[in-house]
Amino acid sequence: MIIKHFTIPIFIPGVACPHQCIFCDQKKISGRQKLPSAEKIKNIIEEHLTTISKENTLVEVGFFGGTFTGLSLKKQEEFLKVVAPFIDKGFVKSIRLSTRPDFINDEILELLKNNHVETIELGAQSLHDDILLACERGHTLDDVVKASKMVLDYGFHLGLQMMIGLPCDTLEKTKQTAEKIVELGADNTRIYPTLVVKGTKLEELFNNGEYTALPLDKAVKWTKELFNIFEKNNVNIIRVGLHPSEGLLNGDDLIAGPFHQSFRELVLTEIWNDFLLPLTKKYKDCEKIIINVPEKEYNYAIGYKAKNKKMLEKYFKKVSFKRDKSLKNRTYYADCC
């Protein structure tokens, strides 16, 4: 039986974060300005629950956006206690939250442990000190290592989020960060390509010519490499790319950077392109080719705007894709006729 996961997102804006990383304007990114009230959080959960099927669904509440554990302990507890009745009634299984690695200590972890939090995602962003310094993250690699160990020692699931294309970043460093995330024991991750958002220090650097944003095609290629590392090591890639807020979608807040609403699809298109390209040699005498793929991968195999199908059509008279329910992960086979 397939269990569907659903996370009810509660955005905690930057007010919980006393820090200012050069790329971040949480108020614009989360699209919300004020800390939500307990009442508001309760309403958000109730509204989402009316739209989620109860059949075979695992529901979590996720506190995202800012730095949850930067809130006072009293506020953290107040927010967590809003979720408790939904967990007691069986509507919600658990809580996940994101925070900074240097905002983790025993007192905080005790509080989270006693209030149904099961997953803690730390914003690592990079595991290279020169990049962390250049981004004015205000913490070091050592902080990430220590916090990750504490999170795991307390029995939480660990998530480590990373960014690509930050100042001083290279493909090699990005891959090393992913490898370190695996080594630190994360079982989930999020990959965020760096965007230049209006009103940030990164915008100043960009305008002064001191920062160059990754072009979209390069960001897709880098992320493809990360997929290989994370998937090989069973690290679940929960998200790729920022949630598209209104300001990003209409371009008001976006100065530069590889923003694309279907970024994950672009990456998976490239992964499938790598699989499919060798078929053009292997089956070079075929007129028609049928590619059988797992149901979940069908659209990605065809590719964003049918990119992969069009590529194959240059070599074969007829190309079709078929869903094969018996196939798992990214296995596939081709029929030639």
Binding piece for ligand SF4, criterion CB under 6 A, among 19-27, 33-41, 152-160, 312-320:
19-27
Q: What is the DSSP string of 162-228?
A: EEES-TT--HHHHHHHHHHHHHTT-SEEEEEE--EETTSHHHHHHHTTS--PPPHHHHHHHHHHHHH
> Is 101 a residue that touches ligand SF4 (CB under 6 A)?
no
> Is 76 a residue that touches ligand SF4 (CB under 6 A)?
no
Angle at 202 between CA 192 and CA 182, to 5 degrees: 30
Rg (CA), the chain: 22
Binding piece for ligand SF4, criterion CB under 6 A, among 20-28, 87-95, 239-247, 284-292:
20-28
> Is 69 a residue that touches ligand SF4 (CB under 6 A)?
no
Angle at 263 between CA 2 and CA 97, to 5 degrees: 60
> Is 161 a residue that touches ligand SF4 (CB under 6 A)?
no
In angstroms, what is the minimal distance from the CB of 17 to ligand SF4? 3
Give the residue from 266, 41, 255, 239 showing the smallest Cα distance to 123: 239
Measured from the Cβ of residue 305, the count of other Cβ atoms closer than 10 Å reads: 12
State which residue, 123 or 258, has the beta carbon closest to ligand SF4. Answer: 123
> Is 291 a residue that touches ligand SF4 (CB under 6 A)?
no
> Is 139 a residue that touches ligand SF4 (CB under 6 A)?
no
Beta partners for residue 11, in sequence order: 64
Give the residue from 256, 240, 229, 257 showing the smallest Cα distance to 300: 240
Query: Taking the mean position of all CA atoms in its chain, how far away is CA 169?
Result: 18
Interface positions, 169-188, toward ligand SF4 (CB under 6 A): none
> Is 17 a residue that touches ligand SF4 (CB under 6 A)?
yes
Return the structure tokens found at 164: 């690509």
> Is 308 a residue that touches ligand SF4 (CB under 6 A)?
no
Binding piece for ligand SF4, criterion CB under 6 A, among 12-20, 214-222, 232-240, 260-268:
12-20
Binding piece for ligand SF4, criterion CB under 6 A, among 17-25, 31-39, 194-202, 324-332:
17-25
State which residue, 17 or 302, has the beta carbon closest to ligand SF4. Answer: 17
State which residue, 18 or 85, has the beta carbon closest to ligand SF4. Answer: 18
In angstroms, what is the minimal distance from the CB of 203 to ligand SF4? 14
Binding piece for ligand SF4, criterion CB under 6 A, among 11-19, 250-258, 263-271, 285-293:
11-19
State which residue, 16 or 279, has the beta carbon closest to ligand SF4. Answer: 16
In angstroms, what is the minimal distance from the CB of 101 to ligand SF4? 10
> Is 140 a residue that touches ligand SF4 (CB under 6 A)?
no
State which residue, 67 or 308, has the beta carbon closest to ligand SF4. Answer: 67
Sole binder of ligand SF4 in the list 8, 10, 24, 162 (CB under 6 A): 24
> Is 19 a residue that touches ligand SF4 (CB under 6 A)?
yes
Backbone angles phi, psi at 250, to 5 degrees: -90, 0
> Is 20 a residue that touches ligand SF4 (CB under 6 A)?
yes
SS (H, E, C) 44-111: HHHHHHHHCCCCCEEEEEEEEECCHHHCCHHHHHHHHHHHHHHHHCCCCCEEEEEECHHHCCHHHHHH
**Contact status, residue 147 vs residue 101, Cβ threshold 8 Å:** yes
Non-local CB neighbours of 57 within 8 Å, separated by 6+ positions: 3, 4, 5, 6
Query: Under the rule (CB under 6 A), what is the footprint of ligand SF4?
Result: 14, 17, 19-21, 24, 26, 66-67, 100, 123
